[in-house]
A and B are shown apart, each in its own frame.
Chain A
Amino acid sequence: MLAALRPREGTLILPVLLLVSLASTAYGTEGVAGEGATAVTSAAEPGGILEVLSFYGCAILTVVCALGVCASKNIVRMAVWLFGALGAVALLYFLMAANFIGAIQLIVYVGGTLILLVFGVMLTTKSPWVRFEAKRWELIGAGVVCLALLVCLCTVLCRTAWHAAEGAMPGAAVAEIGRSLLTTYLVPFEVAGVLLMIVMVGAAHLARQEKKS
C-alpha cells in the first residue's frame, strides 16, 4: 500500500494544501465580516473552534512535510517536501494575520528560492537518482542529538510564562510595514538592497561559464 503510494507522495501534498488554504481563507473572510472592516482581533482572547482546527491542520501539515524532508533520501523528493513545508508555513502566517509576510513567503520562497534549488539540483546531478547515504552511526547520533534538543526546547517553551500583550492588530498592516520600512528601518532596508546587488553580482560571477583558452 505504502510502497504503491511512494512515487506519488509529492502530488498528494497539493490537494491538501489547497483544501487547508481554502478553509483558512473562509475563516479569515468570516472573521472580517463578523467584526467589521477594521478586523480587530485581540491576541489574548481564545479564538473560535475554526481557528483551532485550521491551526492544527496547518501545523500537522508543516510537521509532516518537515519530517518528510528529513526522511527522504532522494534530493528531488526533499525539494518537493520542502515545497509543502514552505506552503504550510505561509498558511500559518495567514492564520496569524500576517498577510504580507505570508504573501512574501509564497512569492520569494516558493516562487524563487525553491525554483533556484531545483535548478541547482538539475545542474549538478548526472542522474536524479544519485544518492549519498549517511552512515548508520551518524544517523543515530544526529537523531539522538536532535530529539534531545527538541525535548529541551519544548519543555522550556511550555514552562516559560509568556506575558501576552493586550492590543489590537492594525487594520492596514501592509501600509504600516511600508511606512516603517522607509522611516524606522530605512538603514537596514538600504543595506539589504546593497547586499542583494552584491549577491547578484557574486552569484553571476561564481556560476559563469569559464572561457576555453
Chain B
Amino acid sequence: MFPPEFDNLLYVGLQHYLVVGAVLFVSGLFTMMTKRNAIGILIGVELVLNSASLNLVAFDRYLGPGRLDGQIMALFVIVLAAAEAALAVGICINLYKNLATMDVDQAADLRG
C-alpha cells in the first residue's frame, strides 16, 4: 500500500521518540536564546531538561527493557529540574527586587 521508504512511519521505534526529544531540545534552546525575560529563559531550560528525560526513558524502553536504569535517571533529572526551578525563581525575585525589571540585559552591574 505504501512505498517501502515510508515503512518506518508505520511503526513506533526509538528514532521516533528521539526526534521528538530533538525538537523539544531545539525549541528550548531557541527560547533560551531569544527571550529577554528571566522567567522565559527558565521555561526554555525546563524544555531542554524535559527532552533529556524523554530521551532517557526512550533509551530505557528500547535499548535495555527490563532494567529501568533510564527511568531512574529520568527521575533524578526531574528532581534536579524541580530544585533548579525553585532556586532560579528565588534568584529572579531577588533580581526584580534589586533592579525592578526582569530584563536579563539590564542585569549588568558586575560587567567590568
Interface, chain A (partner B; CB < 8 A): 42-43, 46-47, 51-52, 55, 59, 62-63, 66-67, 69-70, 75, 78-79, 82, 85-86, 89, 92-93, 95-98, 100-101, 104-105, 108-109, 112-113, 116-117, 119-121, 123-125, 130-134, 138-139, 142-143, 145-147, 149-150, 153-154, 157-158, 162-165, 167-170, 173, 176-177, 180-181, 185, 188, 192, 195-196, 199-200, 202-204, 206-207, 210
Output the nearest chain A residue to B59 by Cβ-Cβ distance: A162
> Do residues A101 and B11 form an inter-chain contact, with CB atoms below 8 A?
no
Q: List the 5 shortest-distance A-B pairs measured between CB atoms, nearest first.
A: A132-B36, A206-B90, A46-B11, A142-B33, A66-B27
**Interface size for chain B: under 10, 10 to 19, 20 to 34, or 35 or more residues?**
35 or more
Interface residue? B66 (CB, 8 A): yes
Output the nearest chain B residue to A193 by Cβ-Cβ distance: B79
B 8-48 contacts with A by CB, 8 A? 10-20, 22-31, 33-40, 42-44, 46-47
A181 to B71, CA, bound (A): 11
Output the nearest chain A residue to B9 by Cβ-Cβ distance: A52
> Do residues A149 and B29 form an inter-chain contact, with CB atoms below 8 A?
yes
> Do residues A207 and B26 form an inter-chain contact, with CB atoms below 8 A?
no
Q: Which residues of A contact B47 (CB under 8 A)?
A: 66, 69, 82, 85
